[in-house]
Amino acid sequence: MAADDIAALTRVWEDAFAEMRDRFHLPVIERTPASDEHYAGRLAHMLRTDPDGCWVAAGADGPKGLAVALRRGPLWVLSNFAVDPSAQDAGVGRALLDRAAAYGDAEGPGLILSSRDPKAMRRYAFAGFALRPSVTAKGTVRRAGLARADGVRDGDAADLELAAHVDELQRGASHGPDFGALLDDGARLLVFERGTRQGYAVVRQSDHRPVVVAATDPDAAIQLLTAALADVPDGGESEVGWLTGAQQWAIGVCLRAGMELHPVGPVMVRGHPGPMAPYVPNGAYG
């Protein structure tokens, strides 16, 4: 991948995402200049941090697919993977995934947050990844159903060392440079710290969505997620994604807040990154 590819790859991603949602009769998510800018910024960040993990399938009339893999310590993460609808079922996806996989240790820990596409799940499973079914909680937040959050404060750059420590306990590696990308969009960093019990949450302010929650214990995670949802305006909506069976603490908070549970693609894991509980991962950064 090169910087000049990013604009065209944004179209490939949007087209593949829209086709998948249409195939599964999911609501249309409108493509906007702001969404294109956000995705392009994400790709530019990954190209800076992991250029050798960023791959493009070239076509006669432009890119036909992309795969982006990140290495954070021992952890390999498949961050982005999409094939243009016109090039699917032609071996493009397999070739891209092979290139991205070669960027990491084939025997090391790995993490993929899969779409619900059966072909993608099959491909990841044959690549050695175990499937962990998951749901997403979304809908209007009923704040009256939430308990009072205790011990949560706003964080800043000085708290990223704490966040990195919690990451290492939960996923085997810090998000490292991705913290900056997660926070650059005006996201809010929440921190819980009480003795050895620690945790953090990153909450995207544009849609009030907690995009990462990690803690040393379930109660700390509950306080963080509660504080994040309690900040949603009256009548506002939120979404908490990638909730596996190990995240019952989060499912309980979301249900008490009146949110609904919906099927989503699985969390797929190779090896043993860490307990990943309590942990709500991020779709792009694992």
The model carries a pTM of 0.95
Q: How many CB atoms lie within 10 A of CB 271?
A: 17
For residue 246, what pLDDT is reported?
97
Spatial contact of 166 and 201, defined as CB atoms under 8 Å apart: no
Q: Measure Cα distances from 283 to 115, 148, 233, 269 in Å.
A: 10, 28, 24, 14
Q: Do domains 3-107 and 137-264+274-280 have the same CATH topology?
A: yes
Report domain extents, the chain. Answer: 3-107, 137-264+274-280
Q: How far apart are CA 106 and CA 117, in angstroms?
A: 23
Query: Over the chain (286 residues), what is each successive 10-residue block's mean pLDDT?
Result: 95 88 80 87 96 95 94 97 87 93 94 93 95 97 95 97 98 97 90 97 95 98 98 95 98 98 96 97 96
For residue 18, what pLDDT is reported?
85
Q: Give Cα 107 to chain centroid, integer Å.
A: 22
Q: How far apart are CA 75 and CA 71, in angstroms?
A: 6
For residue 22, what pLDDT is reported?
85
For residue 87, what pLDDT is reported?
79
Q: What dihedral do alpha carbons 50, 274, 125, 64 form, nearest 10°?
A: -20
For residue 142, what pLDDT is reported?
97
List, as one string, the DSSP characters of 88-129. Answer: TTTTHHHHHHHHHHTTS-TTS-EEEE--S-HHHHHHHHHTTP
Q: How far apart are CA 101 and CA 89, in angstroms?
A: 19
CA atoms within 13 A on the CB side of 270: 22
For residue 29, what pLDDT is reported?
78
Tokens (6 digits) for 134: 């998951």
Q: How many CB atoms lie within 10 A of CB 132?
A: 15
The CATH label, of 3.40.630.30, 3.40.190.10, 3.40.30.10, 3.40.50.300, for the domain at 3-107 is: 3.40.630.30
For residue 274, what pLDDT is reported?
96
For residue 131, what pLDDT is reported?
97
Fold of 137-264+274-280: Aminopeptidase (3.40.630)
